Amino acid sequence: MSLPQIDNTTARRVFLNRHALGEAPQGSGAGDDLLDLITRLGFVQLDSINTVARAHDLILFARRPRYRPAHLQKLYARGDTLFEHWTHDAAVIPQAFYPWWHLRRARDAERLRRQWRSWRRDGFEDQMQTVLEHIRTHGACGSSDVGKGEARGSGGWWDWHPSKTALEYLWRSGALHVVGRVGFQKRYDLTERALPATLWAGNAPPDTARTIDWCCREALARLGFATSGELAAFWDHARAAEAKAWCADALKRGEIAEVEVIGADGSARRMFASADLDAQDAPAPPRRLRILSPFDPALRDRKRAKWLFGFDYRIEVFVPQAKRVYGYYVFPLLQGERLVGRIDMKAQRDADTLTVRALWEEPGVRWGKGRVQDLEAELERIKRLAGVSQIRFEGGWRRGLAQHQFG
């Protein structure tokens, strides 16, 4: 029997709608409105690079143009709304989800202890009790407040001093909690002091089966349709075999159904969707052009982005300059349900200027006067987020894409 089919345009609309990109970008971007948005997305990845704006700020701004970084800081400071931990990377997550991270913390405790020993972070285990006692006595601290006299290298993740490694391990495994940042450097406190007791004491944490069920259900709600592997990767708690078993059981119970989804290249893939999914209800996204963060949740899965949108993207921060195809930190451009290009730009705050270095048009996308005007309007909005008042276009900033294909 043939499966229900979701054509590519409809699939894009479903997916973008689940990522809060299917409606007009509006709302206060502050307080409960901001918390509702983060809850809808599930998490927002944190990243320190500030070429134009930090990743988390641009992710939120793309959906709420009235958002400013201070709004997230104020929401975080309430103490009852958000917490930091890992999904596929460091992220800010609704505090209501905290109990579901018990499995992740337990698995990280085992995995990181083993891995970090092999990476020669010598002595970090010996420092864990000392670090805990320091925080218990002196209160929340950062990595510069501990490990006095320990050998320190360049400061990169590969060169932490033992007490810094102990801090990170105790956070990832649950004894410590991130309570804020100063200059993007984390500050840690005892979990028992930082969180309401209802979240960490008294009730038994969810067991593995309940956690996997929550992870897969909530991932599917945010993806619209997915393979079992994509469900496992969304929160990065469930193992591939666990997500595959969940899909088989949910299919038998009639809670999910198999569908055939058409990719940008016309290929069909068998995926899972909620049994009550009505794909045709997904609205057409607005025509407003939006600049996305390279770490936007809609683009986090690069393979899915390439298959669904025909958008082949990689971050080139760690690629030597001579080997970069586009640039150090290039931003995808979304309009409607299409990714229409990518742009290389930088906020030069000492010159009060947003400098646009290059625009690459995606194959098959016509960049006429109207689309260029749409981009200019978005750049006017972005410059306010970046904290500058002028825009400058470098000579030759309009570039074709034909000669810039990934191998």
Half-sphere exposure of 26 toward its Cβ, with a 13 Å CA cutoff?
4
Query: Does the structure show a pLDDT above 60 at 154?
Result: no
Query: Does the structure show a pLDDT above 90 at 406?
Result: no
Choose between 298 and 143: higher pLDDT: 298
In tens, the pLDDT along 268-285 reads: 999 999 999 999 999 999
Local confidence band at 208 (pLDDT 50, 70, 90 cut-offs): very high
Task: Give yes or no for a contact between 210 and 224, defined as CB atoms under 8 angstroms apart.
Answer: no
Q: What pLDDT is attached to residue 148?
A: 72
Amino acid at 2: S
- Torsion angle, alpha carbons of 290, 404, 365, 399, to 10: 70
In tens, the pLDDT along 222-277 reads: 999 999 999 999 999 999 999 999 999 999 999 999 999 999 999 999 999 999 99
Q: What pLDDT is attached to residue 116?
A: 83
Local confidence band at 404 (pLDDT 50, 70, 90 cut-offs): very low
Cα-based distances in Å from 217 to 1, 33, 83, 210, 273:
26, 23, 21, 11, 10
In tens, the pLDDT along 310-334 reads: 999 999 999 999 999 999 999 999 9
Distance CA 329, CA 58 (A): 13
Query: Does the structure show a pLDDT above 80 at 307?
Result: yes
In tens, the pLDDT along 97-128 reads: 999 999 999 999 999 888 887 765 667 888 89
Local confidence band at 407 (pLDDT 50, 70, 90 cut-offs): very low
Q: How would you write 189-221 as a 3-class SS string?
A: EEHHHHCCHHHHCCCCCCCHHHHHHHHHHHHHH
Mean pLDDT of 177-192: 92
Choose between 258 and 203: higher pLDDT: 258
Q: What are phi and psi of 189, to 5 degrees?
A: -140, 170
Q: What are phi and psi of 176, to 5 degrees?
A: -110, 160
Q: What pLDDT is attached to residue 121?
A: 60
Q: What pLDDT is attached to residue 336?
A: 96
Query: Does the structure show a pLDDT above 70 at 401?
Result: no
